[in-house]
Amino acid sequence: MKLLKNLPFAKGVLFLVPFLFFACNSGKDPGPSGKTFEIYIDFWNTYGTNPKIRFDELNTSREVKIDFSKTFEGVAEGNTFTKVLIDNFRIVDNNANNYNIKDITAYELRDEKWKKDVEFTMSYSQSEDISVVLVLDRSESLGEDFSTIKSYANDFIDKIFSERQSVKMGIVDFADDVKGHPLTSDKEDLKDYVNSLQQGKFTTLYNAMDMGIDMLQDSGSQSKVLFVFTDGTDNNSSPNVDSDYLLGRLQNTKDGISISSFAIGLDGNGGVDKNILTKLSGNGGTSSFPKTVSEAKGVFEKFSKVISTVYSLEYLRNQQIIPREKPAKLKFEITAE
């Protein structure tokens, strides 16, 4: 096995906040088929009731996207059990294809061989509720394509609400000014709002994202997502609201629940700043840069699936004392499609 990365830990929790990204080829690549993915961790329990875990980033499948600002820890359960909890993770490949979990099997490394756990239980579930804010460019640079983008936005709204039982969504739209529709569970109201949007001059992108972050921070949902579409570079926001300011807000939320940020930059006119949008896509989110409006349709569809499919994992085992110097090496093998 590869050596584990030396990472800090405290109170049984390891925090690692990677800003993960990948680009779609064209929106025309094939969808996911059956595949196996793996999560590797070290587990130790020096007193029987103080379990701690460490993430093995090098061996874990790259398609596994974990938001480490959420729960990633070992906890004691009464006088008999301990748990490994991994909250808020997705499985997404480098073409932005999303995978749905069918089964998870736990293994432990014993005598240099991976042995299937038959006594320790494994379970997974989807996060109960989600809040999404769609930040939508309505600048004149989109031209006649804006009506098509609005139809993509409405399809996105339909898909998010069809995939989840508990959804709230808001909209922030921007051009020379920034407007918004508050978070709601009324998808038809959101679609009517999108249909009413009119184009304007300039691109007030950063102020719009700032408003979207405000909406999400005021939400009490377990999962929070900022989803941005633009075809240009900011040229009209307040001087104090720049990419570094927004990055700080995304990384340091007031309620301890981070915001996963996704971005689509329509790259056909050459006006998108890929570096900035990539920088602002993280906490389990990603960015993509389709060349044409028709390609953007596929990205909207893929991101709707990625955003709505968020899992939590729970591994239950006993309170056996395991020294830190000789941690148990665990592997979670995920069958997905």
In this prediction, residues 29-41 reach a mean pLDDT of 77
Q: What is the reported pLDDT for 5?
A: 34
In the structure, what pLDDT confidence band is assigned to residue 33 with cuts at 50, 70 and 90?
low
Q: Are residues 50 and 161 in the same domain?
A: no
Q: Are residues 136 and 272 in the same domain?
A: yes
CB atoms closer than 10 angstroms to residue 227: 26
Q: Are residues 175 and 188 in the same domain?
A: yes
19 part of a folded domain: no
Q: How far is the CA of 185 from the CAs of 243, 251, 283, 309, 335, in angstroms?
A: 30, 27, 24, 18, 32
Q: Are residues 287 and 276 in the same domain?
A: yes
Tens of pLDDT, residue by residue over 186-219, are 999 999 999 999 999 999 999 999 999 999 998 9
- State the residue range of the domain holding 133: 129-308
Given a cut of 50, is residue 74 above it in pLDDT? yes
Q: Are residues 167 and 102 in the same domain?
A: no
The answer for residues whose C-beta is within 8 angstroms of residue 162's C-beta and 6 or more apart is none
Q: Are residues 210 and 143 in the same domain?
A: yes
13 part of a folded domain: no
In the structure, what pLDDT confidence band is assigned to residue 9 with cuts at 50, 70 and 90?
very low
Given a cut of 80, is residue 183 above it in pLDDT? yes
Tens of pLDDT, residue by residue over 120-136, are 988 888 766 889 999 99
Given a cut of 90, is residue 96 above it in pLDDT? no
Tens of pLDDT, residue by residue over 288-324, are 999 999 999 999 998 998 887 778 889 999 999 999 9
29 part of a folded domain: no
In this prediction, residues 83-96 reach a mean pLDDT of 80
CATH number at residue 250: 3.40.50.410
When divided into structural domains, the chain yields a total of 2
Q: Are residues 141 and 245 in the same domain?
A: yes
Q: How far is the CA of 170 from the CAs of 147, 211, 291, in angstroms?
A: 19, 11, 27
Q: Are residues 91 and 180 in the same domain?
A: no
Q: What is the reported pLDDT for 72?
A: 80
Q: Phi, psi (5° rounding) for residue 184?
A: -155, 160
17 part of a folded domain: no
Residue 178 in 3-state DSSP? strand
Q: Are residues 148 and 286 in the same domain?
A: yes
Q: Are residues 99 and 218 in the same domain?
A: no
Q: How is residue 222 written in tokens?
A: 């377990």
Tallying the residues shown for the chain, one arrives at 337
Q: Are residues 41 and 165 in the same domain?
A: no
Share of the chain above pLDDT 70, in %: 87
